[in-house]
Amino acid sequence: MNIPKTVELPEIPFTETVELPARETALIVVDMQRDFVEPTGKLPVPTAPQTVPVIRKLLQQARSAGVRVFYTLDTHLKEDPEFALWGEHVVEGTPGWEIVDDLKPQEGDILIRKTRYDGFYGTPLDEYLRLFGIRHVVVTGTVANICVLHTAGSAALRFYKVVVPVDAISALHPFDLWATLRQITFLYRGVFTRSEGIRFRP
């Protein structure tokens, strides 16, 4: 079977400006942990460090507007079966499991420990979002086609409106990044924008 080495990229809709109601919006920071972000981590994503200042600015904007902030932490115990796929990483309690210093959670932020790709799977994330009356989620972080995609897709399947700023997510390969945006916009009807295009209104 001959598999083509190049494919035509379908058109991916881009939205210049997205206005979101602050009280009905949550900013979700996915897995910005040392093992993924720092070059010396167990499973580093090469472009993740570039997203740190972008996410930090979004966090500042969100907090000043009263937007709820959630962090997911990929969390594993020793001998987790997932290590057969990726090797050992983000073992709970190790330095590599911690959120990077520039994005440290603040008082009032909510941390969600997850054991698999999806931030909703086996976690109280949906319960918290509904408790706070959230209808829109802005999903940032890493890895684009893994935990970001599964979390964004799971949010959409629960009928949250999903927004993904492309400069605030990172992938192991550029193909994976664009495949993620295609899936989120086409399959889940999410919105693809850039971080500077996001506005939180009272």
Strand partners, 138: 27, 163
Task: Give the active site residue among 35, 114, 118, 161.
Answer: 114
pLDDT of residue 3: 81
- Do the beta carbons of residue 168 and residue 195 sit within 8 Å? yes
- What are the φ/ψ torsions at residue 86 (nearest 5 degrees)? -120, -5
Task: Give the active site residue among 35, 42, 147, 161.
Answer: 147
Give tens-digit pLDDT for 130-156: 999 999 999 999 999 999 999 999 999
Residue 5 among the catalytic residues: no
Domain boundaries, position 152: 27-201
In a domain, residue 16? The reply is: no
Measure Cα distances from 154 to 6, 47, 89, 122, 125 in Å. 30, 24, 23, 12, 11
pLDDT of residue 50: 98
pLDDT tens across the length of the chain (202 residues): 788 788 888 999 999 999 999 999 999 999 999 999 999 999 999 999 999 999 999 999 999 999 999 999 999 999 899 999 999 999 999 999 999 999 999 999 999 999 999 999 999 999 999 999 999 999 999 999 999 999 999 999 999 999 999 999 999 999 999 999 999 999 999 999 999 999 999 9
Give tens-digit pLDDT for 178-192: 999 999 999 999 999
In a domain, residue 72? The reply is: yes
In a domain, residue 19? The reply is: no
Tell me the residue type at 181. L
pLDDT of residue 9: 86
Cα–Cα distance between 81 and 92 in angstroms, integer?
15
Dig out the tokens for 146 from the structure: 């893994």
| Cα angle: 88, vertex 69, 43; to 5 degrees | 15
In a domain, residue 17? The reply is: no
- Do the beta carbons of residue 35 and residue 85 sit within 8 Å? no
Residue 31 among the catalytic residues: yes
Domain count, the chain: 1
Which residues lie closer than 8 Å to 33 by C-beta, 6 or more apart?
Answer: 41, 73, 74, 90, 96, 97, 98, 99, 100
In a domain, residue 189? The reply is: yes
In a domain, residue 3? The reply is: no
Q: CATH number, domain at 173?
A: 3.40.50.850
- Do the beta carbons of residue 148 and residue 164 sit within 8 Å? yes
In a domain, residue 1? The reply is: no
In a domain, residue 11? The reply is: no
CA 41 to chain centre: 18
Residue 114 among the catalytic residues: yes
Task: Give the active site residue among 31, 35, 74, 80.
Answer: 31
